A and B are shown apart, each in its own frame.
Chain A
Amino acid sequence: QKEVEQNSGPLSVPEGAIASLNCTYSDRVSQSFFWYRQYSGKSPELIMSIYSNGDKEDGRFTAQLNKASQYVSLLIRDSQPSDSATYLCAVTYSSASKIIFGSGTRLSIRP
């Protein structure tokens, strides 16, 4: 079992709709959770970070964390064509400074 799991997609969402991306992790005592966006041929860039249970909103993006169920999700409201990218979930493991990524979800926003 991978330490961080994501649905690889592709996830196709119509423009203007809500895109929902999910991630599960295996280490119960993980502390820090991140969502990165990666365009083809580019480096990942940070979208959201979340550290405590509940929701965190930043513009059109909302990150949700549920430590009891060991999942973290990202909602993108009013999806735009520019949101088409691969979204990577990353988890910092408590044992050291190890940061593990999921395999990424490809998101496609169709006009």
Chain B
Amino acid sequence: NAGVTQTPKFQVLKTGQSMTLQCAQDMNHNSMYWYRQDPGMGLRLIYYSASEGTTDKGEVPNGYNVSRLNKREFSLRLESAAPSQTSVYFCASVNKKETPLHFGNGTRLTVT
């Protein structure tokens, strides 16, 4: 049982490049989330998808786009990477909103 799988684990981009972070869960969860965590900081919500077919902005959505491809997969796209987007990105999922999040192992992204 893999849980929440994020790819890639590490990525280095140059300013202006684009990339997509992938996330998949095998727990049949309804809701999925993307967070970023900067050094010494908590998690900040970028986007979330309450259910298949819906997406909503979180606290820091600027510079990102998301796609809920199906119930399993929720991708995060950086169209034109900036050094300010250097961070660790966590994907998470939950079945019902009253239950705890299940996290992936994170993607460490560096933008130079």
A residues touching B (Cβ–Cβ < 8 Å)? 3, 6, 8, 31-32, 34, 43-46, 49, 51, 88, 90, 92, 96-104, 106
Contacts and interface: CB of A to CB of B under 8 A. Distances in A.
B41 A104 contact: yes
A69 to B, nearest CB: 21
Nearest first, the 10 A-B pairs at minimum CB distance are A103-B42, A97-B50, A43-B103, A101-B43, A104-B42, A46-B100, A97-B97, A97-B31, A101-B42, A32-B98
A44 B101 CA distance: 9
Contacts of B61: none
B94 A97 contact: yes
A20 to B, nearest CB: 18
Interface of B: 31, 33, 35, 40-45, 48, 50, 56, 58-59, 90, 94, 97-101, 103-106
Nearest to B90: A43
A91 B35 CA distance: 14
A43 B45 contact: no
